[in-house]
Amino acid sequence: MSNPRVSVVIPAYACAETISHVLDALFKQTVQPLQIIVVNDRSPDELDAAVAPYLDRIEYVKNERNLGLARTCNVGLRRTTAPFVMTLHSDCLLDPDYIERMLGHLDADPSIAVATGQYLFEDYNALGLSDRLFAALNMLPIETDRRNTEVYSLGFIEGKADLFRRDVVAAYDFFSENLSLTAEDQDLSAKIRRDGHRIVQDCRARFRVMFTGTSDSIRKVLRKQRTYGRGQAYVVIRYGLGIFADSTSNRKSRARHRFGQLIFASLFLVAIGIACINPALYWIPLVWLFLRIIHYIILARRMSPQDTLIITLTGPVADVLYLFGMMEGAVKTMLFGRA
């Protein structure tokens, strides 16, 4: 374990406020990385200044133009030299033994190609409004303790803090560059599982999510719903629903939530069409909308009145945007092979 065998790649965009915390957590790992590569994807903030104190301990790469998440990860991954590579988002703070635990799984079982941990919001109420909205609309696992110590087999990773066998992912040329901002993690996961490798999640290995400037407004949060829909359409068309096998209970709940978004938005648009043809039936979309609002009120039942109001107002909008994203992604996938 003392021999450095891990290269860490951090795709960096709009993260000047979080990157120093991420790097400090890396330097406190019980197993130190061989390389830490930060790839600046034309970040609009003061990222250069934020990483300046670390330049003697990291490799700092700057893209000539904005490439998106998948391509930016690949820029770093192609520079790695260690037998294991970790992609780490620029708002994720690892527990000190995170890399050690991930390596333990890969060393113990050659069939495991990817190991990941459990992300944690230790103080949900301290998050900004848009971050709380993002967590709620996407049904992220908001944890308040560390009691879950299970190890699960997963259908797919979520691309936040994942440790790979480099030779396995290099065989696919790392992440698909047809997927600039979405589903690159699920696409790679499907290829890995297709070829007989395993993906595991160790809930004893934790990392805290801070959120970067990519979700710092309600507009950005809603825009991501459409982006996620595009990516989901691509993955389902390419690999089928088997990508969702071996899911945790939270992931199953999130899958049901996504399915509910599609059902609501589709029927809501049909109801609006019916009301346009026959104005006397205007009440149908209103009743359907009211029922969906009740769903989001229940979803936000443990949150503050302010959060509940925001979620009930934006939830149905997120549903429709997710549907539009799915339709857009389906067309792009079938016509151009990309999302």
Which pLDDT belongs to residue 212?
A: 64
Mean pLDDT for the stretch of residues 247-271: 88
**pLDDT tops 70 at residue 145:** no
CB 159 within 8 A of CB 70: no
Predicted confidence band at 207 (pLDDT cuts at 50, 70, 90)? very high
Q: Exposed, middle or buried by CB within 10 Å (0-12, 13-18, 19+), for 44?
A: exposed
**pLDDT tops 80 at residue 146:** no
SS3 64: coil
Sign of CA dihedral 180, 183, 187, 189: positive
Q: Give residue-wise pLDDT tens across range 212-230.
A: 655 668 888 899 999 999 9
**pLDDT tops 90 at residue 141:** no
Which pLDDT belongs to residue 306?
A: 86
Q: 141 or 289: which carries more pLDDT confidence? A: 289
User: How far apart (Å, rounded) are the C-alpha atoms in residues 137 and 258?
Assistant: 10
Sign of CA dihedral 336, 178, 141, 215: negative
Predicted confidence band at 142 (pLDDT cuts at 50, 70, 90)? low
User: How far apart (Å, rounded) are the C-alpha atoms in residues 19 and 15?
Assistant: 6
Distance, first Cα to last Cα, the chain: 40
Domain spanning 6-215: CATH superfamily:
Spore Coat Polysaccharide Biosynthesis Protein SpsA; Chain A (3.90.550.10)
Query: What residue type is 55 in one-letter code?
Result: L
Q: Where are the domains of the chain?
A: 6-215, 242-336
Query: What residue type is 169 in one-letter code?
Result: V
Which pLDDT belongs to residue 181?
A: 74
CB 233 within 8 A of CB 329: yes
User: How far apart (Å, rounded) are the C-alpha atoms in residues 6 and 80?
Assistant: 9
Residues 11-37: b if buried by 16+ CB within 10 A, e if exposed: bbbbbbbbbebbbebbeebebebebbb
Mean pLDDT for the stretch of residues 234-256: 81
Percentage of the chain exceeding pLDDT 90: 69
Which pLDDT belongs to residue 60?
A: 98
